[in-house]
Structures are given as structure tokens and as C-alpha cells.
Amino acid sequence: MTWQFTLTGLLLGAVVGLTGMGGGSLMTPILVIVFGFKPTYAVGTDIFHGAIFKSFGAARHRRLGTVHMRLALWMFLGSGPMSLLGVAASNWINNTYSNSQTIESYLIGGALVFGGLGFLSKSFIKRGIQPSNAPFLLENRDKIIAVTIGAIFGFVVGLTSVGSGTFFGLVMVLVYPLTMAKIVGTDIFHAAALLWVAGIGHLVSGNVDLHATAWLLLGSIPGILISSRFTPKLPDVALRIGLGTILMLSGLKLLNVPKSSWILVAGLSALAFGLAVIGVRSWLGRPRAQAEPKSA
């Protein structure tokens, strides 16, 4: 099974490139539900793949100047160590309980439901603090909040792989007076650093399928590079609602809620169809070069 991983990576890379969201949180449930990965290996493979994958976006945002480095470093001060504690907790569950994969599946499912709620919250919560282009100097209160949210959600990421790009961005929207470009850039830069720490932790623990990671990257890196060149007018709110709903449905599937499989398939099909329609309409409606009149 190789091209299936590459196709999955390509599709998720395209989603991230077009929307800036959703790829990381979708990878783990796809690996579990579609490819039959054990939850522990799905988490480790997702995190290690995300570390490499998001590094491309982090480097791009750093060059564009849309990263608030001090804020990212303060969040990483909490998230880096706690993500390793999350990896250790995952290994402890795996070594202690005979039904460890079921427990891990439930943990991922719960995190996905909350992650989906986070996406939906982003759709309806405009701003908590008004954004400003003025330089944002961190005060002690801001640093404490950054370390705290880093510690809490870093543990969740290390344990379940969910939340590196959902919870941090949501809290920054509510708490810090940054423009949306700075929030996205800081979020991606911090997520890349966090995922490298947690990813190496899972790699050392033997929870990463390197074969699957390589084939996923073969599709996801071109996917994000190609799709990021297009700038269609995507309905941001509709996409957040769609992706948030799919995350919640994936979580319900892993929680073994009845009838969630058919609803999940329908939701994914609707999202893929919607993105295809929007992409085609954007392509057909792009400005066309006027032909020069022929000289007499």
C-alpha cells in the first residue's frame, strides 16, 4: 500500500494549502479509520509527518515576517516538555493496559470532538481582542498565558496528535492583539517546533511508521506547494464549519457512536465535492490575458 498514502497526503496537503487548516487533525482519524492503523502508531506517524510537513509552512511564514517569535518561544517553553509527557503517557497506557489501543482510540476521539468544536468556535467568534499592526510587546501576564496554554495543549498533542493548529490559534485569537496573518504564522511556526519534539519522542518510542510517513510526504509536500499558488475566494466560515463537523464525526466514529461511519463518509464526500466545485469555478473565472490585435 503506497500510492494510497501518497494520494491521501496530496489531498490533505491541498486542503492545508487552500484553507490553511485541517490537515493535521484529519490525518490521525484517516490512518485509523481508512488504513486500519493502531491508534498509537497513527498518532506517532501523524505527528512525525506533521513535523516535516509544517516546517515548510513555518519557513515560509518566517520569511514573510508573519511570526511573532517571542510568543512562539514562550508557548514552546510549555508545550515542548509537556508534549514529551504526553508521549510518555501514551507509552504508559500502551504498556499497562491490555485494551490500550481502545483507550487510545477513545482519547483521540474525545480530542477530535473538542478539536471540531474549536474549529466551529473559530467560525462564530470573530475576535476577543482587537487586532493591531503595532508591535506587540509581551507583558508578564501574556507570557504566563502562553506557557500555560502551551503546557495544556502540548500534552494533548503528544498524547493524541490533535490540536497543534486548532487550540493554539483559537486562544491567540481570543487573547492576543495580533493580526490574523501573525496568528496564522505564529501558530504554524510554533506547531512545527512542537511537533518535532513530540515526533522525535514517538520515533524513539517506536510509534512511527517511516514507510507510511515517506509516502505521505511524497503527496503532501507537492500538494501544499501547488495549492498555495492558487488564491480562490474560499468561503472561510463554510470551510471551518465543514472541517469542524468532519473532525467531530471522526471523533464520534473512534468513540464507537452508532451510525457515525455513514455520516462520516457523507461528510467527507460533501467536503471533497465542495472544494472541487470551488476550485473549478475559481479556475474558470480567473482573469484571462487579452489577445493583442493583429496589425494590418
Of the ranges 106-110, 116-120, 168-172, which one carries the lowest mean pLDDT score?
116-120
Centre a 10 Å sphere on the Cβ of residue 293 and count the other Cβ atoms it contains.
6
Instruction: Report which of residues 209 and 118 the model is more confident about.
Output: 209
Contact 28, 238 (CB under 8 A): no
Count the neighbouring beta carbons within 10 Å of the beta carbon of residue 2: 11
Mean pLDDT of the 117-129 span: 66
- Report how far apart, in Å, the C-alpha atoms of 128 and of each of 173, 174, 223 are: 6, 4, 33
Residues shown for the chain: 296
**pLDDT tens, position by position, 249-267:** 777 777 777 666 666 677 6
C-alpha–C-alpha distance, residues 75 and 190, integer Å: 7
- Grid cell 481508512 is found at 34
| In the predicted structure, residue 80 carries a pLDDT above the cut 90 | yes
Average pLDDT over residues 85-108: 87
Query: All 3 cell numbers of residue 45?
Result: 506517524
Least confident of 104-113, 209-218, 249-258, 287-296: 287-296
Q: What is the mean pLDDT of residues 217-245?
A: 69
How many angstroms from the chain centroid is the CA of residue 66? 18
> Which of 183-199 are b and which e, b meaning 16 or more Cβ less than 10 Å from the residue's Cβ?
bbbbbbbbbbbbbbbbb
- Per-residue confidence band for 204, with pLDDT thresholds at 50, 70 and 90: very high
* Burial grade of 202 (CB within 10 A; 0-12, 13-18, 19 or more): buried
- Provide, rounded to the nearest whole percent, the portion of the chain with pLDDT above 90: 25
Task: Read off the C-alpha cell for 61.
Answer: 511564514
Q: What φ, ψ does residue 50 adopt, rounded to 5°?
A: -65, -35
- For the cut 90, the answer to whether the pLDDT of residue 225 exceeds it is no
Any idea what the Cα angle at residue 81 is, between residues 79 and 84, rounded to 5°?
Answer: 100
pLDDT, one tens digit per residue, over 26-43 is: 788 888 888 889 888 998
Q: Using one digit for the tens of pLDDT, what is the confidence trace for 133-182?
A: 777 888 899 999 999 999 999 998 998 887 766 778 778 877 888 887 78
Contact 241, 33 (CB under 8 A): no
Residue spans of the domains in the chain: they are 3-279
